[in-house]
Amino acid sequence: MRLERDVLAKNDRLAARNRAFFDARQIAAFNFTSAPGAGKTTLLQSVIKQIGGRFPLAVIEGDQETDRDAERIRSTGAPVVQINTRTGCHLDAQMVNAAVTALDPPRGALLLIENVGNLVCPALFDLGERAKAVILSVTEGEDKPLKYPATFHHADLMVLNKIDLLPYVPFSMELARENARRVQPDIEILEISCTTGAGLEQWNDWIQRHL
């Protein structure tokens, strides 16, 4: 327990340093978390395509192995750094600092951080972000906010993703909303499908509102 407290305290100090750097350069950093396969990378691609021409962009991709998601982001033309955590289950503030140093985003940039697919560990580690979004696919079940409360408690936004699949899965949007607000009463909630484009305008508005 003492070791865990020391690790988190060190991370918080580094996160504060990141946040001061971002504020000084007017960089808006966003931390995106979810379980594996919820659709984070596809959502980030939609942001890049919709508003990438209006703001300078940089992306940090977190995965245990491979650079497949980074290659998907790179195909949009956005600069990206891949972080492979190997056996690690989350990004931390020091990893983000190293990636930002490599990216060297310009003043006023939008920094998109895709965390490792995991609904547990990323909740504990502040990265210095301006806002945090958790992505919940309708294929995962409405009870995820109750099973992984820390992730949803620390999130500013919950994206209910892949809503085009609702006719084919037993998922209650109303119950998902209710469960999320039991954990975080002030959480914003968006309903999105990258397949049909539903909700993407509101998604991009949310990003721009926090710039």
> Which has the closest alpha carbon to 161: 175, 178, 173, 152?
173
Q: Look at residue 126 in the predicted model and tell me its pLDDT.
A: 98
pLDDT in tens, 9-44: 999 999 999 999 999 999 999 999 999 999 999 999
What's the mean pLDDT when you consider all of the chain? Answer: 95
Range of the domain at 55: 2-209
Q: Look at residue 5 in the predicted model and tell me its pLDDT.
A: 78
pLDDT in tens, 110-129: 999 999 999 999 999 999 99
Q: What does pTM read for this prediction?
A: 0.96
Collapse the DSSP code of 156 into the 3-class scheme (helix H, G, I; strand E, B; otherwise coil) and give the result.
coil
Which pair of structure tokens corresponds to residue 17? 């340093």
Q: Look at residue 55 in the predicted model and tell me its pLDDT.
A: 85
Rounded Cα distance between 3 and 170, Å, is 42
**Ramachandran category for residue 17: left, alpha or beta (phi over 0 → left; psi -120 to 50 → alpha):** alpha
Residue whose structure tokens are 């919950």? 158
Decide if 116 contacts 92 (C-beta within 8 A).
no
Taking residue 37's Cβ as centre, other Cβ atoms within 10 Å add up to 13
Q: Look at residue 3 in the predicted model and tell me its pLDDT.
A: 66
- CATH number of residue 143's parent domain: 3.40.50.300
Rounded Cα distance between 9 and 7, Å, is 5
One-letter amino acid for residue 199 of the chain: G
Rounded Cα distance between 197 and 60, Å, is 24
Q: For the chain, which ranges sit under pLDDT 70?
A: 3
Number of domains in the chain: 1
